[in-house]
Amino acid sequence: MDIHENHGKQESRGNLPIALFLAQQGECVCLLGIVDKPNVKSPDATRNGVIWEFKIPQGRTENAIDKALRDGSRQASHILLQLPADFNRNFLEGGIYNRTQRTEAIAEVAVLMDEDLYTFGREMIITNAFRGVIP
């Protein structure tokens, strides 16, 4: 795991635990520096060379998932959501499905709950094949 010196303290608080978990799973994770320029994307990290945005939704509603994915899709097409294990699955699935349907930029959504990581490609989401995968 690598952390760019300009990653930022606020970003590190949420992103570091995610990056450490992924690194423990054998992934090559690099937390990227913050680009503070207008209209320039500033994604959080690379996972095995692929650019990802990490999000921790604020709230426990379908709208919180929607907002996290909407905001995340402005930075990267691959978005990882970190959620508590008791997050309502219907809210989670509804938020992922509805936002992915409306946002073509979303290629992949990963969900990290406790020590479990679930990854869903766009096709799996828009065909509803992802529903019920997370117990």
Model confidence, pTM:
0.91
CA 97, 18, 37, 63 dihedral sign is positive
Given this model, what pLDDT does residue 4 score?
A: 63
Distances (CA, A) of 35 to 1, 40, 114, 119: 20, 7, 30, 27
Domains and CATH numbers, the chain: 2-126 (3.40.1350.120)
Per-residue confidence (pLDDT) for residue 12, from 0 to 100: 67
* Positions in the chain whose pLDDT score sits under 70: 4-12
pLDDT value at residue 125:
99
Residues 35-74 pLDDT 10s: 777 777 889 999 999 999 999 999 999 999 999 999 999 9
